[in-house]
C-alpha cells in the first residue's frame, strides 16, 4: 500500500532517553508521517553517535516527528511524549545515563513553546509524578539525523535484547492506554 503524503505537515522534536524508544512509539501514532532519530542541542556541527555518546558535545538523542496536523495535534504529540518516558529523571532513562538521554522538548516556533510550557505545567499540577518534572523546553537549533543504522531500529531489531526488554514494554503500555489518538479529529 502506497502512503499518500499529506498536503501540510508540521514537525516536533523531542528527546526522552534513547531515540530508538521514542522513534518506535511515534512511528505507530496515526497521523505521524515520519519519525527520524537524531541529535540536537549540542555544539558539534556534524555529530556522530560516538561523539554524542561521550556526553561531551551537549547533544541529546532526539526524534524529529513529522505529522499531519489534520489527524494529530501538537498537543497530542506532547501527550504521547509524557507517557512514553519518565520526565522526572535528570539525564537518564532507566539504565541509559548521561546528558544525551535528558528529557527535552525542542520547539520550532513560539506556538509550540507555549503549548509545551502549558502541557508541562498541567502535568506538574496533576501530581501524576511524586518528583518534579525536569523536562527542558528549548528552541530547536540544528537537528542532525542519526546514522542510517539507527533509523527504524526497533522494526529491524525487535528481537534484540534492548528492544525486547525496554522498547516492547513501552509499546505495550501505549496500546493498553485509552487515547484519543486512535480516532481522527
d(CA 96, CA 10): 29
Closest CA to 16 of 172, 181, 170, 173: 170
Query: Which DSSP letter does residue 60 get?
Result: E
Which of 18, 25, 32, 62 is an active site residue?
Answer: 18
163 a catalytic residue = no
Residue 81: closest CA among 70, 67, 95: 67
Rounded Cα–Cα distance for residues 5 and 145 (Å):
21
For residue 63, the Cα-to-chain-centroid distance in whole angstroms is 5
Whole-angstrom distance, CA of residue 9 vs CA of residue 125:
31
- Name the residues annotated as catalytic: 18
Amino acid at each position: 500500500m502506497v502512503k499518500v503524503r499529506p498536503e501540510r505537515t508540521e514537525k516536533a522534536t523531542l528527546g526522552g532517553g534513547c531515540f530508538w524508544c521514542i522513534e518506535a512509539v511515534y512511528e505507530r501514532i496515526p497521523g505521524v508521517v515520519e519519525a527520524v532519530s537524531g541529535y540536537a542541542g549540542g555544539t558539534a556541527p556534524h555529530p556522530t553517535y560516538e561523539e554524542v555518546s561521550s556526553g561531551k558535545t551537549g547533544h541529546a538523542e532526539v526524534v524529529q516527528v513529522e505529522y499531519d496536523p489534520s489527524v494529530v495535534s501538537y498537543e497530542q504529540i506532547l501527550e504521547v511524549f509524557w507517557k512514553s518516558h519518565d520526565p522526572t529523571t535528570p539525564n537518564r532513562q532507566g539504565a541509559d545515563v548521561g546528558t544525551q538521554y535528558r528529557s527535552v522538548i525542542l520547539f520550532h516556533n513560539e506556538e509550540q513553546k507555549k503549548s509545551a510550557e502549558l502541557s508541562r505545567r498541567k502535568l506538574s499540577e496533576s501530581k501524576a509524578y511524586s518528583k518534579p518534572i525536569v523536562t527542558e523546553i528549548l528552541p530547536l537549533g540544528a537537528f542532525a539525523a542519526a546514522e542510517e543504522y539507527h533509523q527504524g531500529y526497533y522494526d529491524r531489531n525487535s528481537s534484540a535484547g534492548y528492544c525486547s526488554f525496554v522498547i516492547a514494554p513501552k509499546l505495550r503500555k501505549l496500546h493498553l492506554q485509552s487515547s484519543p489518538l486512535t480516532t481522527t479529529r
